[in-house]
Amino acid sequence: MAAYLSMGEAHRRITDYLARFSDAVASQDVASLKPLLSLSSASPSLVSLADALNLLQDSNRLIKQSDRYSQFAEILAPLFRCLQNYRLHNLVDAYPAYEKAANAFIQEFRNWDSAWALEALYVIAYEIRVLAERADRELSANGKMPEKLKAAGSFLMKVFGVLAGKGPKRVGALYVTCQLFKVYFKLGTVHLCRSVIRSIETARIFDFEEFPQRDKVTYMYYTGRLEVYNENFTAADQKLSYALAHCNPHSEANIRMILKYLIPVKLSIGILPKDWLLERYNLVEYSNIVQALKRGDLRLLRSALEEHEDRFLRSGVYLVLEKLELQVYQRLLKKIYIIQKQKEPTKAHQMKLEVIIKALKWLEIDMDLDEVECIVAILIHKNLMKGYFAHKSKVVVLSKQDPFPKLTGKPVNA
Amino acid sequence: MMNRGGITETLAPPGTNSLEDRHVVDARHGQPSSYSTSTAGSEASSWIPQSVNNSFTGNGYSASSTYGYEQQTQPPRRDDMNGATEASSLSLGSTSVPQDYNGYMTYQNPTNSYGYGTTGYTGYYSGYQQQTNPSYSQPAGAYQSTSSPYQPVSSFQNTGSYPVPPSYSNSYYGSGDYQTAGTYPNSNYSTQTTWNDGNYANYSTYQYSNYPSTTSAYGSGNSAATSVQYQPQFKQWTDYHAPSEVSCAPGMENLSVASSSNPACPTPGVPNGTQASNSQPPPTAVPSWRPEPGLSGLPSQQPSVVAGAGHDNYWKQHAAPGFQNQNSAAGQSAFYQPMESKNAYGSYMDEQRSTSDQGSNLQYPVVHQAPQIHQAPQQISPALDPRRGSRVQIQTNPRIVSNLALGLTKTEKAGSGTTAAAKPAYIGVSLPKPSDKAMSDDASDPALKHAAFPKSLRGYVERALARCKDEAQIATSQEVLKELITSATADGTLYTQDWDAKPLFPLPDMDGLSNTLQTPPPLPTFRRSPGRRTKSRWEPLPEEKSVNKMPPLMTEPVKYGGYMNDRNRKPYVGNSESKDGLNTKNFLTAEQKTGSFQKPFKRQRLSDSLTTADNGDASSDSDKESSLTAFYSGAIGFSNTPEERKKRERRSKRFEKAHGNRVEINHFKPKSAVSANLYARRATAIVLSKTFEESGSKAVEDIDWDALTVRGTCQEIEKRYLRLTSAPDPATVRPEEVLEKALTMVQNSQKNYLYKCDQLKSIRQDLTVQRIRNKLTVKVYETHARLALEVGDLPEYNQCQSQLKTLYAEGIEGCHMEFSAYNLLCVILHSNNYRDLLSSMSRLSNDAKNDKAVKHALAVRRAVTTGNYVMFFGLYRTAPNLNSCLMDLFVDKMRYKAVNCMCRSYRPTVPVSYVAKVLGFAYASSVNGGSEEKDSVGLEECVDWLKAHGACLVADNNGEMQLDTKASSSSLYIPEPGGAVAHGDTSLAVNDFLTRASS
């Protein structure tokens, strides 16, 4: 409100907005409708409108003065209230008003046969999530229970219900689903994703490929992450790879987010990334782990895990990375095997437990006989090593043919 | 009453002035500092002559007046006060009576505020402590503090009281004499009196609140001379008790509180023959009182008053027990002690007995109060008493609400009748006891009282006293406690209230404390009586059942107190102003309001506090009136300020609550017949709170839901768990101290888990029902969780764990680390959800990660996720706390996995001994370097286990058992669980469970 705002000007701005809104709806012009709903865009027209609304408090009268506007009063009145609060940075009050307007909007949307307003609905779904997140931040800053995002989640579920049926509106379902994923991941209630996923994946009437590209990528990213939680690496690899392949190559941030999960998944199926990839997308926290895998350096792996424990725990890949330990053991034993082969090719397939313990000692890892025996047993059991262990003589007898099979895209035998 | 009224009227005109003067004096007394008592003295004397009865009524008034005075007094002298009041009230100078009224009005207003203050601590706190501290200082502070917790209740009362003020004014007018008389005694008592007054105010408030309901009934019905008399007397008594604290006062208090009704009833007659009253406990008490206030007390007081500087003297005297003693010495002393003791005792006894019988809580409280009063002088005992008083007050409120109708009528009737009858015997008993107790130290009294009181109350008292830094504070605290307890007794909430949860009253200022300290000394006699009383209380407890009548009495006492006030006021009004009383009252209220507004400002905070006290009394009266008339509600409008104060107080209370303090519970304990109304009461309580809010224009948020929480009264340590199907009955709910005992009992019990689980569940239930969430709660849940872990009762453990999670989150101390380790283990072992595991891991603080138990749990997780069975069983061996119990639940799974792994990777065989060692079958051997016996046991066990899982065992050349890995790799299976039951939950198989539990 840098400049003085006259009542007349305020009045003009409000009526102008009302006219634009009703015209856009009447002509089904979604392009001009979208900016009218986009709260977070902070477009100059919306800001000036908010100022006008804060000056001219009886905007409801303006809405009601004409039938053209009053038919949308249920949308516009709360929307104005929301704009006012938003302008005053009162997000906690802005949210419920926006939700009310959004509710009224989907009522209207339901009545429209065509999906012309889908884009506007996207805007609403996005705005409501972002607004809820910000309102929650405000709430928790004030020491109150953040609850808006949860409310946004249930509202979006309602929107999903409007879109998920058959017909042209179904195209929009995936966008809402992705917004829901974001909400659920943020809230930590990822189990709620399941019902949405089921509804997307079981409805064969609608081919997944017909969804918009960006939604598909987002969807794959989130479902891929869910698979990481479930340690279902094959599926995770497939979904995350899809996301990576279809992601806009220019949005590096998104690529990085995908790689953050894809790299651990790939590691656990025995595929190591190139160093340049880690550097390019600033994923250096993985580089030491990759090094450890290459060298069979158990100590390096452990220190890398410890160093970034918090980060890995938060992103949820800690357990995945921790399981790489077996591969490091495998690499270590393989190295011992290679050395033995060089020295004494005939007895190379017989590996004494003492040798392994010695090697571990060099790595400053102190393990007793039983533990190493156990590790060896597990390696054999998990098919990371072919052969058997002779308990009596404490010797690992390796298969002469490919004693250390590569994973090559298959996860470690669970 | 009529006579009195007449007298009062006649006296009133002059009296009013004198009253004012007296008030001033009183105030001075209260304030010690500057009181020109000359007038007071003369007036007092005159007053005394006028009529004992009057004095009684007057006492009540006086108390109130005193308060006002005190407030005024702070300024210094009566004259000053008067002047101030006059100035403030405009017309003070003009019409003596009006002036008085005005003064009263103002006072009342202040009082109202007080009432509010009492009820609403804000007033008290701010006004009181600040203002009071100087003169009232400690007492006031004490009151305030006490009142603070009570506030909710008191606030109610206060509201009621607001309307009442008019009555006061009337009474004041008419009974200027009375008031003066009352005042005198009060004034004489001065500091103590003021304290008492404060207490009284509380009482009155309570009573008032009761009154509204009761009053209506009472007012009309009781208006009868007797009732009136009683009330006055009661009031007087109460006042006396409080103010006079003097030995007489104690008796009075006793009478007033529990037996007060009784005494009061008898009193009418009693007053006439003090000694005769000896035979009749109540009467005696009354006489004694009268003598004290009127004769001995007044004289002595007067002198002191006259002295001006006399306050100090007074104080000293008090300290030296001079006042009371003097009075008693005067010849009254004989009466006093006997009378008091007897009365008190009798009343106590009666009360106690009756109390015990009924919801006797009330009675007890009363008894307590009496002792308290007595003790009040004494530091220690007083504290107890105050607490009791406070409790009583609190209780009263709820009770009042619910009981209003019931309690009022019953109490009156029963009180009068029963008390009188029972008293003689009681008296006899009581007398001896008093002496004994007297002999015993104050401490003994408290102890005795303790016994009689709920443990929680004792705990409360202990807590209150524990924080005192010096004797002065202790004395003050005791005073406060006394009031608290007395009021609680009067209200009947003594046993119902959650003393554990009740926030401690703020510590009075040192100055105030010192004053209080001084006061206490005078009360040696009292101590005796209290002690006796306490004993009697204890004794009565068993007797509770015996006297059915007593309960009614008990309730009555409380109500009586209120009634007394009401009646007194009413009588006054009626007498002095006749039927116009109501109108006058209304006017008065209005005036008061205005006056109060004016005065408060001028008087400053101190005066406000004083006035509040007055108001408290007035308010009680007003309550009745309010209930009676819409006018009052209008009048209440005045109380806006007070209400605001209440609000503030409430808010502050809420904060206190938030801090973990629990506000007293308004629920009465419905042990006795009265208890039957529990639910109704609750409902009423809610309604009342609503109405209060409405009338007081309080926000809905101000509803004190905590007030609806149950406070247990059950003293049984052992209790079977029974799932509640209805609202809990306080009679079957154990208070915190009992629960503590119950916990220790369970911990030390040799019985099996089923029994312990049952007991612990009932403890948990009682805790939940009473909304107790503190260290004890944590302890209970921890104990139960550990027990459940030991026997593998996971469902029960999970319940405890989830509760502990929230309890720890609330910042309550406990074995947080131990249980976060358990929690971690639970997630690891029993959830396939890695997300849960990740989130619990990421939630661990660095401190936690360095904790031994948590580290162990994390290592276990690692072993499990990597399938490292050697590591797992190594950790199993070194598990801290009960971690191994949780690991137990995973052992089989781990072993099976391990054997599977071995069968795949070992060739051709693995010695079973190695398997047994690695898989924890014979872990003792590895630790001890091998006791072969255990080794073999482990080996056998391992063989059995392997066979059960389909492993192929062969013996090698040396006869050593070997696991044929190749053969076994295809034959391993997980056997059906042995104890499988149809419903799939073996833990539900009772026999199996019992054997497990008892083992």
Tally of CA atoms within 13 A in the half-sphere of A252 that contains its CB: 7
What is the rounded distance in angstroms from the CA atom of residue B46 to the CA atom of residue B31? Answer: 23
B160 or A251, which is more confident: A251
3-state secondary structure of A387: strand
Shortest distance, CA B870 to any CA of chain A (angstroms): 6
Q: What is the pLDDT of residues B379-429, one digit of tens each?
A: 333 333 333 333 333 333 433 333 333 333 333 343 333 333 333 333 333
What is the rounded distance in angstroms from the CA atom of residue B847 to the CA atom of residue B348? Answer: 57
Asked whether the beta carbons of residue A388 and residue B834 sit closer than 8 angstroms, the reply is no
B550 or A243, which is more confident: A243
Average the pLDDT over B126-146 and give the result.
Answer: 36
Q: Are B378 and B565 in contact (CB under 8 A)?
A: no
Residue percentage of chain B with pLDDT more than 90: 1
What is the rounded distance in angstroms from the CA atom of residue B759 to the CA atom of residue B746? Answer: 7
Q: Which residues contact B704 (CB under 8 A, 6 or more apart)?
A: B152, B650, B653, B663, B666, B689
Supply the pLDDT for residue B888.
84
* String of DSSP letters for A307-321: HTHHHHHHHT-HHHH
Asked whether the beta carbons of residue A374 and residue B911 sit closer than 8 angstroms, the reply is no
Percentages helix, strand, coil for chain B (3-state, rounded to 5) are 80, 0, 20
Supply the pLDDT for residue B806.
86
Closest chain A residue by Cα to residue B871: A371
Q: Residues of B with CB below 8 A from A229's CB? A: 833-835, 838
Average the pLDDT over A283-310 and give the result.
Answer: 92
Place of tokens 């209370």: B653
Average the pLDDT over B688-700 and give the result.
Answer: 45
Chain centre distance of CA A326: 28
Q: What is the pLDDT of residues B543-588, one digit of tens each?
A: 333 333 333 333 333 333 333 343 333 333 333 333 443 333 434 3
Question: Against a cut of 0.90, is the pTM above it?
Answer: no
Q: What is the CA radius of gyration of chain B?
A: 34
Q: Within a 10 A sphere around the Cβ of B59, how many other Cβ atoms?
A: 51
Supply the pLDDT for residue B654.
57
Reported confidence tier of residue B998, pLDDT bands at 50, 70, 90:
low
Supply the pLDDT for residue B18.
39
**Out of B862, B870, B911, whose CB is closest to A391?**
B911
Biggest alpha carbon–alpha carbon distance for chain A = 98
Asked whether the beta carbons of residue A374 and residue B871 sit closer than 8 angstroms, the reply is yes
Asked whether the beta carbons of residue B834 and residue A229 sit closer than 8 angstroms, the reply is yes
What is the architecture of the domain spanning A293-398? Answer: Orthogonal Bundle (1.10)
**Out of A316, A325, A375, whose CB is closest to B835?**
A316
**Out of B838, B871, B905, whose CB is closest to A318?**
B838
Return the structure tokens found at B543: 């007797």
Average the pLDDT over B609-637 and give the result.
Answer: 39
Place of tokens 């239930």: B765
Supply the pLDDT for residue B186.
37
What is the rounded distance in angstroms from the CA atom of residue B402 to the CA atom of residue B680? Answer: 7
Reported confidence tier of residue A339, pLDDT bands at 50, 70, 90:
very high
* Residue B51 φ/ψ, nearest 5 degrees: -175, 135
Shortest distance, CA B820 to any CA of chain A (angstroms): 17
Reported confidence tier of residue B453, pLDDT bands at 50, 70, 90:
low
Q: Residues of A with CB below 8 A from B838's CB? A: 229, 313, 316, 318-319
Asked whether the beta carbons of residue B842 and residue A391 sit closer than 8 angstroms, the reply is no
Q: Which of B832, B838, B864 to mutate to test the interface with A (most CBs of A within 10 A)?
A: B838
Q: Residues of A with CB below 8 A from B906's CB? A: 377, 388-391
Reported confidence tier of residue A134, pLDDT bands at 50, 70, 90:
very high
Q: Are B353 and B363 in contact (CB under 8 A)?
A: yes
pLDDT of B77 higher than 70: no
Which residue in B208, B230, B260, B520 sits closest to B369, CA to CA? B260
pLDDT of B596 higher than 60: no
Shortest distance, CA B967 to any CA of chain A (angstroms): 14
pLDDT of A261 higher than 80: yes
Closest chain A residue by Cα to residue B834: A229
pLDDT of A30 higher than 70: yes
Supply the pLDDT for residue B652.
61
Supply the pLDDT for residue B129.
36
Q: What is the pLDDT of residues B506-543, one digit of tens each?
A: 654 444 333 433 333 333 333 333 333 333 333 333 33
**Out of A316, A325, A378, whose CB is closest to B901?**
A378
Reported confidence tier of residue B155, pLDDT bands at 50, 70, 90:
very low
What is the rounded distance in angstroms from the CA atom of residue B893 to the CA atom of residue B949? Answer: 11
What is the rounded distance in angstroms from the CA atom of residue B235 to the CA atom of residue B56? Answer: 6
To which H or E segment does residue A292 belong? helix A287-295
As a dihedral over the C-alpha atoms of residue A108, residue A114, residue A119, residue A123, rounded to 10 degrees, the angle is 20
Chain centre distance of CA A162: 24
pLDDT of A307 higher than 80: yes
Q: Residues of A with CB below 8 A from B867's CB? A: 378, 381
B742 or B553, which is more confident: B742
What is the rounded distance in angstroms from the CA atom of residue B226 to the CA atom of residue B420? Answer: 13
Reported confidence tier of residue B645, pLDDT bands at 50, 70, 90:
low
A76 or B286, which is more confident: A76
As a dihedral over the C-alpha atoms of residue A93, residue A95, residue A96, residue A99, rounded to 10 degrees, the angle is 160
Which residue in B385, B558, B345 sits closest to B484, CA to CA? B385
Residue percentage of chain B with pLDDT more than 70: 26
- CA-to-CA separations, B790 to A293, A332, B94, B181, B989, in angstroms, rounded: 42, 42, 83, 71, 18
* String of DSSP letters for A11-23: HHHHHHHHHHHHH
Q: Are B285 and B344 in contact (CB under 8 A)?
A: yes
**Out of A310, A371, A391, whose CB is closest to B910?**
A391
Best-predicted range by mean pLDDT among A194-208, A295-309, B144-158, B195-209? A295-309
Q: Are A378 and B868 in contact (CB under 8 A)?
A: yes
pLDDT of B446 higher than 70: no
Average the pLDDT over A156-167 and give the result.
Answer: 85
Reported confidence tier of residue B768, pLDDT bands at 50, 70, 90:
confident
Q: Residues of B with CB below 8 A from A378's CB? A: 866-868, 901, 905
Q: Which residues contact B822 (CB under 8 A, 6 or more apart)?
A: B785, B789, B797, B801, B857, B881, B882, B883, B886
Percentages helix, strand, coil for chain A (3-state, rounded to 5) are 70, 5, 25
Shortest distance, CA B831 to any CA of chain A (angstroms): 12
Which residues of chain A does CATH 1.10.10.10 include?
Answer: 293-398
What is the rounded distance in angstroms from the CA atom of residue B335 to the CA atom of residue B559? Answer: 27
* String of DSSP letters for B523-575: -HHHHHHHHHHHHHHHTHHHHTTT-SSHHHHHHHHHHHHHHHHHHHHHHHIII
Shortest distance, CA B900 to any CA of chain A (angstroms): 8
Reported confidence tier of residue A212, pLDDT bands at 50, 70, 90:
confident
B470 or A122, which is more confident: A122
Asked whether the beta carbons of residue A378 and residue B866 sit closer than 8 angstroms, the reply is yes
Supply the pLDDT for residue A38.
86
Asked whether the beta carbons of residue A370 and residue B909 sit closer than 8 angstroms, the reply is no
B231 or A34, which is more confident: A34
Shortest distance, CA B800 to any CA of chain A (angstroms): 24
B470 or A363, which is more confident: A363
Residue percentage of chain A with pLDDT more than 90: 42
B66 or A187, which is more confident: A187
pLDDT of B59 higher than 70: no
| Angle between helices B248-257 and B363-375 in degrees, nearest 10 | 160
Which residue in B594, B567, B564 sits closest to B581, CA to CA? B567
B591 or A251, which is more confident: A251
Q: Are B377 and B321 in contact (CB under 8 A)?
A: yes
Q: Burial level of B258, CB count in 10 A (0-12/13-18/19+)? A: buried
Interface residues on A facing B, Cβ-Cβ cutoff 8 A: 188, 190, 229-231, 310, 313-314, 316, 318-319, 322-323, 325-326, 370-371, 373-381, 388-391, 397
Reported confidence tier of residue A3, pLDDT bands at 50, 70, 90:
low
* Residue A345 φ/ψ, nearest 5 degrees: -55, -30
Reported confidence tier of residue B235, pLDDT bands at 50, 70, 90:
very low
Average the pLDDT over A298-319 and give the result.
Answer: 91
Q: Residues of A with CB below 8 A from B905's CB? A: 376-381, 388-389
Supply the pLDDT for residue A224.
94
Reported confidence tier of residue A286, pLDDT bands at 50, 70, 90:
very high
Q: Is B878 on the interface with A (CB under 8 A)?
A: no
Q: What is the pLDDT of residues B802-857, one digit of tens each?
A: 889 888 888 888 888 888 888 888 888 776 677 778 888 888 888 888 888 899 99
What is the rounded distance in angstroms from the CA atom of residue A286 to the CA atom of residue A283? Answer: 6
B696 or B823, which is more confident: B823
What is the rounded distance in angstroms from the CA atom of residue B692 to the CA atom of residue B694? Answer: 5
Q: Is B905 on the interface with A (CB under 8 A)?
A: yes
Closest chain A residue by Cα to residue B900: A381
Which residue in B648, B619, B615, B607 sits closest to B136, CA to CA? B607
Q: Residues of A with CB below 8 A from B836's CB? A: none
Asked whether the beta carbons of residue A390 and residue B902 sit closer than 8 angstroms, the reply is no
What is the rounded distance in angstroms from the CA atom of residue A218 to the CA atom of residue A240? Answer: 10
Q: What is the CA radius of gyration of chain A?
A: 29
Asked whether the beta carbons of residue B869 and residue A319 sit closer than 8 angstroms, the reply is no
Q: Which of B842, B877, B964 to mutate to test the interface with A (most CBs of A within 10 A)?
A: B842
Q: Is B846 on the interface with A (CB under 8 A)?
A: no
Q: What is the pLDDT of residues B306-350, one digit of tens each?
A: 333 334 333 443 433 333 333 333 333 333 333 443 444 434 444
Asked whether the beta carbons of residue A314 and residue B842 sit closer than 8 angstroms, the reply is yes
What is the rounded distance in angstroms from the CA atom of residue B320 to the CA atom of residue B313? Answer: 10
Q: What is the pLDDT of residues A32-89, one digit of tens each?
A: 888 888 888 878 888 888 888 888 777 778 888 777 788 888 888 899 889 888 888 8
**Out of A370, A379, A390, whose CB is closest to B870?**
A370
Q: Are B112 and B592 in contact (CB under 8 A)?
A: yes
Asked whether the beta carbons of residue B906 and residue A318 sit closer than 8 angstroms, the reply is no
pLDDT of B590 higher than 80: no
Q: Which of A370, A373, A376, A394 to mutate to test the interface with B (most CBs of B within 10 A)?
A: A370
| CA angle (B872 as vertex; B868, B877 as ends), nearest 5 | 150
